[in-house]
Chain A
């Protein structure tokens, strides 16, 4: 059974700092892995999706990597800004079957000026 863990649960950094959010999964037979952003009381916004055949994806100041063999993914945020403050969730989609996403509990990020 796939389990997804995110560490740390919460993170507070000063503006401008580069930071890394971690996601680990127990079953390496994944179809893809997705990173989402969630603002308080809102729905999820997809940030990056990495297919199982890919090593990383980049969008602006965000870079996500995937290492299936070790069961890990990282989300790197460069030059953090207060507007980056949100909860970041990763979700692994298993190979085969329907489009089932297994979510981690998220990392709550606060970027202070």
Chain B
């Protein structure tokens, strides 16, 4: 059963903590992406990776970090430097940079 999985579904963070959101895909896709969605707004690109061991900042990368050590995995760390991290986070992947993006089910992060 191929697809994109994200965990956890819900995550609560205390102020000053770093948290890591997981994204895994078994679609053999080269490219992976992280988006943030706020209520009533479209998705905004945080980071993207076109190939293993390479990633680039998107439009709102400040306060976030990523790694791409394996083709299947693209974890996102929300650091304490992110001033307003409460949001819905979506991971996506595509076969290559020209292909349709497929999305995971999302992680809802809430700062307490």
Contacts and interface: CB of A to CB of B under 8 A. Distances in A.
B56 A105 contact: no
Nearest to A108: B40
Interface stretch (A14-22, A39-47, A58-66, A69-77): A39-47
A106 B38 CA distance: 12
Secondary structure class of chain A's binding surface, majority of residues:
strand
B42 A106 contact: yes
Nearest to A5: B42
A43 B90 contact: yes
Among A42, A91, A104, chain B packs the most CB atoms within 10 A around the CB of A42
Interface residues of A, number: 23
Secondary structure class of chain B's binding surface, majority of residues:
strand
Nearest to B33: A99
A89 B33 CA distance: 17
Given A49-B100, A99-B99, A42 B105 contact: yes
Among A4, A31, A100, chain B packs the most CB atoms within 10 A around the CB of A100
Contact of A98 (B44, B56, B88, B105): B56
A44 B98 CA distance: 18
A98 B48 contact: yes
B50 interface: yes
B50 to A, nearest CB: 6
Interface residues of B, number: 30
A89 B6 CA distance: 21
A7 to B, nearest CB: 13
A4 B94 contact: no
Interface of B: 4, 6, 31, 33, 40-45, 48, 50, 56, 58, 88, 90, 92, 94, 96-106, 108
18 contacts: A34-B100, A36-B103, A41-B88, A43-B103, A43-B104, A43-B105, A44-B92, A89-B42, A91-B43, A99-B31, A99-B33, A99-B99, A101-B43, A103-B42, A104-B42, A105-B40, A105-B41, A106-B42
List the 5 closest pairs (A to B, CB-CB), nearest first. Answer: A103-B42, A99-B97, A43-B103, A44-B103, A103-B43
